[in-house]
Structure 1
């Protein structure tokens, strides 16, 4: 018997993977599906495509629905003799904005690969922006009658020059009148459009389609539609899917997260050789996923970002504080103490503020502008304090952070303080007490 043998929980867990499985129907997205189909009907008639923006939080079906409908559109148009080429580009580039230069190059290379899948000349970085635009327009003209470019995570685009160039390509003479190109922008940030120039907003935003977070009942329907294929018949207790749906609806309303929670619950049950997946497995999976998410976020932080996050953790769990929302000046004092006491170089107040904003962008802390005795931001932990501190403890204890022993002592002291404040349920701590 193989050591990889399953205990009979899963039948086909592929259907629980949001990014590798496309359902036959998109439950609770019938309205958005019809709106997108309606917006693309002009292509099927042989007319230019509209520019469309899809807005909504992560895991609300924007990308998977778009890809599915575009695949159908391409096939149906081909039957009418209309050649439709679609290009997909993700504008998110880790923690950095993707430039128009990089996006233009990626679009161009994607078009070249579509035309010559067996081998094509990949464009490097040795061209000017203007030369890259020319190459992209040459590829668009050669691709066929209609081109649709999908820019996912549009909020990760550093500037909007490429949006202007593509949306005005025919008007500005960069493409001939018989070559049509349309943009579909997908964004998790409803406010990102505000940062675009008026000309771009006027050209890009011909159609808006909103994707609201899923409700618990909608998530139940989605998980219920997948369970028959994903799990062995009868192994899911009746209250597992309702609990997965309720937890996810409360936290995010993301189908991706709901599927991940259900899959993790099954994996825990399988590892325990349990006969069924129970609500206890769901609760354990929820805690484990949260902890893993926090741990993965910490691994990607710089030393200075870790120190800034620790300063927020210290002040947020301070029992003498009347509020968890802490002004930047108080956080900076804690940061300087941690840095100088444990062998790190303290940066300037402005550099420290930049680190806080970077952490806010990664959803580890929240920022609230305040107007009290002068303008000053306040910050609070966006993640559970216990999970954050225990994840920090695991990372530095295992030598994964690449930090000095000073950081370990700092984390231990924070855990002691958190334990005293009732924030961390570890009663067997034997940690040295440090004063901050």
Structure 2
């Protein structure tokens, strides 16, 4: 009997005893059997603690505006697995994904693959058949041992390095940076979005001969100036080149950094490209068009602004707090917060404490082993202000309570994980 996509996803989630089992031996063996080679003429791989998805979205939008045929592999998804594999700006349909899974299953023999390895092979298999000009691969976890590192990129990108997934990547920025730097290749560009990247990243780049292209050193993003400048513009600059740009549609000040990193990555491609190549017009259009769900995504409900964000670690929380401070609500800021068990929930809450007036906590017990009930979640918040928030079994119940207590002019912020954002979208009817 033919499996549906839902059947396949259930199956590939169960065939490996561990959800995360880092290493390239298994996926490389199966990729060889599938004759998977280069997924596109050019490849950009994007790693980082935060900003990966947005940076991929900017690279994709700019490259497509230039007329290139583009594929993007991202994770996790918000509402449907199909979001993970995009070709020419469209989510891949069920049938192509099923065909890819069938090919992988026939080739893997007794090799056990994780859910992410299976999905990565499916994306590469589909990209190779699509004859793409550019494939953009978002690292799932770390970099050095991540399944996406099977492919040698023409340009590697590390957006930021901060604390997250310490059980797998190490206890500090230096250890985490070394793992992320594993996507760099000898004599190829490595674009760094941090103004002050860990020394482990720079040492690794030097050791292998990778060319580090650094924000604040080799390229800059600044307020606009001159006759064309306005409050709605900014400037990207490197030695011998500069370009005035519109503000990204994606909210938050950090999105200018993500857009700047994307531009640097595309300008670092040292190879002939289709059409007129990377034109100023394509960069301007791509920055303006780039979109990705769940990044300060806003909705209006009876005079109340609902903002949904996938931010889930302390660095993301600091950026979120900066945006809240820069765009104050007319009334109160009411938070609906739910996080997975492996996140530093107390540090996230502490980063946002000065910007949130009322807290509603929600459980994520329905989302597997990494979820928890709300009481366990509240205990992990320690002595933070959020710990005293009202408790609710799930995101939908918490969101209803927050909206019921809100008045026109108030802002309801829903955040803490991709699961939190997805539950909010479904409850709001915007799925």
Name the TM-score, length of structure 1 as normaliser.
0.32
Q: Which has the larger radius of gyration?
A: 1
Higher helix residue share = 1
Higher strand residue share = 2
